[in-house]
Structure 1
Amino acid sequence: MTELNTQQTSIKKILPLILATAIFMQMLDSTILNTSLPAIAKDLNESPLNMQNAIISYVLTLAVFMPASGFLADRFGTKKVFIFSLVLFSLGSLFCSLSQNLTHLVISRVIQGVGGSLMTPVGKLALIKTFDKNELLKAMNFAIIPALIGPVLGPLVGGYMVDYLSWHWIFLINIPIGFLGILLGLKFMPDYKSDDVDFDFKGFLIFAAASLLLSVSLELFGDMQNITPVLLIFIMGFLFLYYYYKHAKRGGNPIFPLNLFQVRTFRVGIVGNLATRLGISSVPLLLPLMIQIAYRQSAVTSGWIIAPMAITAIFGKSYVIKILDKYGYRKTLMLNTFIIGTLICLLAIPDIHTSLYWFVPIIAVLGFFNSIQFTSMNTISIADLRNFQTSSGNSLISVNQQLAIGFGIAFGLIVLKLFENTDLIQGEIHNAFRYTFLTVGILTILSGLVFRRLHISDGKNMKSKED
């Protein structure tokens, strides 16, 4: 019994680190490519505009395969699927670095995407099933840090690697991290399975089609020359979601049961995640763009300006549990969303003659409150799920977050382009960014109203044990 307890304690210590490794690889890989595309295009003799396929192929693969992550974990076990996903992701990274043309790179990114679509959801599922509700907040709080620092460090690391090494290293960096994750996974990853597994293949195809169409439309929203086909794809995505709703309503064993949405905290967490990320996800894209386009600074400079966000996000994790224990989820999320929205609005104040250093304290404080936001939203979403709901619920949360980030980026670009084509900016592109920050910030403040649906007592079962 003592040996079993010691093993369980070791697993609980290492498991959040294993998940953090997976999240860090995925988040870094999702953003590190952006600053490296021109260098890769030059080496592969391609137009930089064609290189978007290397990003889109990865995002679309995530959208298609993430819904199946819960079923695969239940069917084959969390340990086998997680290690398989790490091997696949690492191999995909190796193939990316060896690519001789754009076709090779796109195929390699698809292999990476299949690994990435399973890696994080399955790792998170193992975490949810290992920890009691009153321990989960602390474990999730640690594991989620890479989700905050990945988008910030990605462009900075990518810029330096391309400048001082070569673009191949932005993929090769994943291999030692993946190898570490595999070793830790083999020793410490628990192997949870479910005896009652029935795969809803029709539901999977319908939902995957909806995710695929929505992801394609979000990627294409960046190119506003012809909006009609993009809107058609977007509407088709929602029609497939409605079709899935009708399919799931008929009964059987749908891949995402509708009874998940009868759990109020899950429902509020899903909607809140989608609404608040419209603003939060657009900032790491819009601010570096403004620094490079309006202020005419380098990609590395813009990377350093937003780097404090990663440092304060780590710092914020040590406070989030105390804040939630004292004020509860409802009050914390409502006030925190208001603060984040206000900080985004403050980014609109500096004019073109203001020093870039003005942005640093705002970004630093934003990183702190983002840390609180993500931990709170992720944990309240799973607070009241039953054991039989955790696999499907966790998969749906992962898909929702992926789409929410895409919505945020697309929304920021759409608002920017709308202001760019108005008389308000008076020929100054910098003013278009300022109005965009103001709009996005106000909408973020309003999105906090979603969390009014929470009760004061919600999340009490997540209250952490004292050390």
Structure 2
Amino acid sequence: MPSARRITLVVASALFIENLDSTVIATSLPAMALDLGVNPIVLKLAFTAYLVSLAIFIPISGWCADRFGARTVFRAAIGTFILASIGCALSNDLTSLVAARFVQGIGGAMMVPVGRLIILRVVEKRQLVNAMTWLTIPALIAPLLGPPVGGFITTYYHWRWIFWLNVPVGLAGMVLATLIIPQVKADSVPPLDFRGFLLSGLGLSTLIFGFTLLGAAVLPQRDALLLVVVGLTLILLYLRHARRAPHPIIDLKLLAIPTFRASVAGGSLFRIGTGAIPFLLPLMLQLGFGLSPFASGSLTFAAAAGALTMKATAGPILRRFGFRRVLVANALISAGLLGAIALFSGSTPHLVIVSVLLAGGFFRSLQFTSINAIAYADIDPPRMSRATSFAAVIQQLSLAAGVAFAALVLEASQAARGGGPLAVGDFVTGFVAIAALSGSSLLVFLTLRPDAGAEISSHSVATAPAVTEGRGTRG
């Protein structure tokens, strides 16, 4: 069998492509809108199509890998991502671009979880920490490179090259996956909850797309509202199905665990607010302040740099203050830094912009790390895979809802002043709204006990009245 390092590097390379592609597109939105002849706000559909596709197909990725083999699924995921990238590059209208982005999401949904599953299945436990360290590099470096790379390509070449670059890199990944990745299958595979997959997938996609289309001149508003109603109906049907199914694709019983419930509910509010940043910020810098895509990307990368610097400090901060205090205080700090973006103007020094974005990236990353960690504080091993799928689905849906919410606020602000091109004031309203939404997540985190997640944070709460074996939050 190939060495663990070689296997990890192949998986990490594939994840790098997926992470890079999802960040470079944000800087190119105004240029893409101009080329396709659509309102820049309408390109929210290119964002949400990808994120919704991830949310639909992530829950079945593990089942597919167990049933058909990890190498087969991983290689097919890369191939799907390549073909969808070609479709994006050749898109001549909004419909074809959104469709290609949705297919790209299918590839990404299979590539990321299956890649992690391969590492967990083939790497020895004593090498697992080192392997997972390598695997986190794409998630840290790609968002750092994405905005300036996307801005450079868009400014000096053409936005379509963003997608064409995926082709040779992806083909190389498929060859390496064939040569290096082992074919791993599970000994026994539980039956797929196909009815649950259809109800949840159709319900979530219809609801999010309907909400995204509200206020847009793509469909009549009556049809958009009809999609929302149909989506809600299908989700209600799934809720009834999940209570009866022996192996539901999304296990709602996990919400009975207080720490997991707080992570899902509070994390969703926080991500809906912060998920709008990649959509709102490049539009404001380019359409509001008149910066080029490259200049815009050279500023927005600071948020990713701030997130990168946080990684070494999260552990000590959580040990010192504990999850509850960090999540509550950090929700306020992050919301304040989001609101500070609303104070930017065309004359704001770039050093000030970079400083605010750097600080915002640091505190948002600390919040994400804390939310993700406390989700699994009281999850027992048999339910870990179901909790991971549940959390991943909610995360992608929250990000998609964030883009849709921000676009709706922009459209409402436009309409309130009588229409016309996007103005700086529209973005001010948008950033104030998402800051308020992110900040409201502290109301959920306040419900946590002081010793919540103490077993994984190593935080000692001397004043806590009852701490039973470090698991005072189990419900």
**In structure 1, what is the Cα distance between the partners aligned to 2:316 and 2:418?**
44
Of the three residues 47, 53, 56, the one matched with 1:64 is 56
| Contact in 1 for aligned 2:324/2:452 (Cα 8 Å) | yes
C-alpha displacement at 1:190, in angstroms?
Answer: 8.8
**In structure 2, what is the Cα distance between the partners aligned to 1:331 and 1:107?**
43
The residue type equivalent to 1:68 in the other structure is: I
**In structure 1, what is the Cα distance between the partners aligned to 2:134 and 2:383?**
24
- Alignment match, 1:391: 385
| Contact in 1 for aligned 2:50/2:104 (Cα 8 Å) | yes
List aligned pairs for 1:18-37, cutoff 5 A: 20-36=12-28
**In structure 1, what is the Cα distance between the partners aligned to 2:67 and 2:386?**
13
C-alpha displacement at 1:279, in angstroms?
Answer: 1.8
- Alignment match, 1:197: 190
Would you say 1:414 and 2:414 are equivalent positions?
no
C-alpha displacement at 1:22, in angstroms?
Answer: 4.2
- Alignment match, 1:229: 223
C-alpha displacement at 1:169, in angstroms?
Answer: 2.9
| Contact in 1 for aligned 2:150/2:294 (Cα 8 Å) | no
Secondary structure of 1:454's counterpart equals coil
Would you say 1:174 and 2:166 are equivalent positions?
yes
Of the three residues 149, 155, 173, the one matched with 1:163 is 155
Gaps of 5+ in 2: 459-475
C-alpha displacement at 1:381, in angstroms?
Answer: 2.0
**In structure 2, what is the Cα distance between the partners aligned to 1:136 and 1:262?**
31
| Contact in 2 for aligned 1:140/1:379 (Cα 8 Å) | no
Q: Which moves more between the two structures, 185-194 or 428-437?
A: 185-194
**In structure 1, what is the Cα distance between the partners aligned to 2:29 and 2:410?**
22
The residue type equivalent to 1:70 in the other structure is: G
List aligned pairs for 1:107-186, cutoff 5 A: 109-125=101-117, 143=135, 146-147=138-139, 150=142, 153-175=145-167, 177-178=169-170, 183=176
- Alignment match, 1:438: 432
The residue type equivalent to 1:66 in the other structure is: I
List aligned pairs for 1:15-414, cutoff 5 A: 20-36=12-28, 47-48=37-38, 52=43, 58-94=50-86, 96-97=88-89, 99=90, 109-125=101-117, 143=135, 146-147=138-139, 150=142, 153-175=145-167, 177-178=169-170, 183=176, 187=180, 191=184, 193=186, 195-221=188-214, 223=216, 227-351=221-345, 353-414=347-408
Secondary structure of 1:193's counterpart equals coil
Secondary structure of 2:378's counterpart equals coil
- Alignment match, 2:469: none
C-alpha displacement at 1:393, in angstroms?
Answer: 2.4
| Deviation readout 1:262-292 (Å, 9 max, x if unpaired) | 3332222222221101221122322222222
**In structure 2, what is the Cα distance between the partners aligned to 1:150 and 1:218?**
29
**In structure 2, what is the Cα distance between the partners aligned to 1:344 and 1:260?**
31
**In structure 1, what is the Cα distance between the partners aligned to 2:238 and 2:59?**
13
| Contact in 1 for aligned 2:323/2:457 (Cα 8 Å) | no
| Deviation readout 1:48-72 (Å, 9 max, x if unpaired) | 5699576665455434323322322
- Alignment match, 2:467: none
Two-structure CA RMSD over aligned residues (Å)? 4.0
C-alpha displacement at 1:458, in angstroms?
Answer: 3.4
C-alpha displacement at 1:321, in angstroms?
Answer: 2.1
Secondary structure of 1:360's counterpart equals helix
| Contact in 2 for aligned 1:54/1:109 (Cα 8 Å) | yes
Would you say 1:459 and 2:461 are equivalent positions?
no
Change (3 A) 1:458 1:48: same
Secondary structure of 1:341's counterpart equals helix
Count of residues paired in the alignment: 452
Gaps of 5+ in 1: none
| Contact in 1 for aligned 2:151/2:296 (Cα 8 Å) | no
Change (3 A) 1:270 1:351: same
Relative to the length of structure 2, the TM-score reads: 0.80
| Deviation readout 1:104-144 (Å, 9 max, x if unpaired) | 76665454332112112333455677899999999878755
Change (3 A) 1:351 1:164: closer
The residue type equivalent to 1:291 in the other structure is: L
**In structure 2, what is the Cα distance between the partners aligned to 1:429 and 1:106?**
26
**In structure 2, what is the Cα distance between the partners aligned to 1:96 and 1:459?**
43
**In structure 2, what is the Cα distance between the partners aligned to 1:370 and 1:133?**
31
Change (3 A) 1:190 1:275: farther
Change (3 A) 1:79 1:416: same
